[in-house]
C-alpha cells in the first residue's frame, strides 16, 4: 500500500511530512475539474477534491490511499481561487482588505472504491491594507499560486489580524481533520507500525 498525494503543492507536501507521513508519493491531478456554479463554497471544494482523487485513483493500485484537497477563499457570496495575473491578485487583496473571509478546504481520502470527503472552514480577519502594501506584496510573487492571493505561512502573515479555526486549513490542508479521516483507512499518523 502506498499513500499518494494528488497535489503538487509544496505546502501540502510539507504538512503531510509534519503529520509524520514521510513515505508518500506525489502524483498531481492534471485534468480540468468541473463543478456547478450553484454549489456553496463547502460543496465546491468537496466536489473538486473528489474529482482530483478520482483522477489519480484511476492509475493507482486498489490498496493505495489517495489524498486530494482543494482550497478556496469566500466572502460576500464571492469565491476566490488562485489569481490569474497581477491585476487579479491586486483585486482579490483589495476585496479582502479590512474584512473577514472564510477559507474552505475540501479533502478526499480514497482507497479503491472506499471514498471519504469532508471539508474544513476557517475564518480569517484581514487588517485594512493600502494600495501600496498590496502592490508591494503582489510584487513578491507569493500570492500568485494561492487561493485568495495570499499565503498565511509566508509574508502574507502580516496581512492577517486573526483567525478562528484551523491555521493549517488556511495553508491548504486541515491536518487534524485529515488525520481523523486517515484513521478510518487504518492509517494513524501518530501511531505508525
Catalytic center residues: 70
Query: What's the CA gap between 142 and 158, in Å, rounded?
Result: 13
Beta bridge partners of 102: 74, 123
Residues 6+ apart with CB under 8 A from 146: 82, 156, 172
Nearest to 127 by CA among 91, 171, 96, 87: 96
Q: Which helix (H) or strand (E) holds 25?
A: strand 25-26
Query: What's the CA gap between 180 and 184, in Å, rounded?
Result: 7
CB atoms within 10 A of CB 121: 17
Amino acid at each position: 500500500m502506498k499513500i499518494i498525494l494528488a497535489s503538487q503543492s509544496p505546502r501540502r507536501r510539507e504538512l503531510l511530512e509534519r503529520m509524520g507521513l514521510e513515505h508518500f508519493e506525489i502524483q498531481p491531478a492534471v485534468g480540468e475539474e468541473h463543478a456547478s456554479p450553484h454549489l456553496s463554497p463547502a460543496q465546491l471544494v468537496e466536489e473538486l477534491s473528489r474529482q482530483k482523487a478520482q483522477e489519480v485513483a484511476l492509475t493507482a493500485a486498489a490498496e493505495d490511499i489517495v489524498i486530494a484537497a482543494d482550497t478556496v477563499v469566500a466572502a460576500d457570496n464571492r469565491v476566490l481561487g488562485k489569481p490569474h495575473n497581477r491585476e487579479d491578485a491586486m483585486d482579490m487583496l483589495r476585496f479582502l482588505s479590512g474584512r473577514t473571509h472564510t477559507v474552505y478546504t475540501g479533502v478526499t481520502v480514497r482507497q479503491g472504491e472506499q471514498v471519504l470527503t469532508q471539508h474544513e472552514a476557517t475564518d480569517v480577519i484581514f487588517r485594512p491594507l493600502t494600495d501600496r502594501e498590496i502592490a508591494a506584496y503582489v510584487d513578491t510573487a507569493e500570492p500568485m499560486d494561492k487561493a485568495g492571493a495570499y499565503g498565511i505561512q509566508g509574508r502574507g502573515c502580516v496581512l492577517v489580524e486573526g483567525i478562528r479555526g484551523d491555521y493549517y486549513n488556511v495553508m491548504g490542508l486541515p491536518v487534524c481533520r485529515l488525520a481523523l479521516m486517515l484513521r478510518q483507512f487504518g492509517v494513524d499518523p501518530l501511531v505508525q507500525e
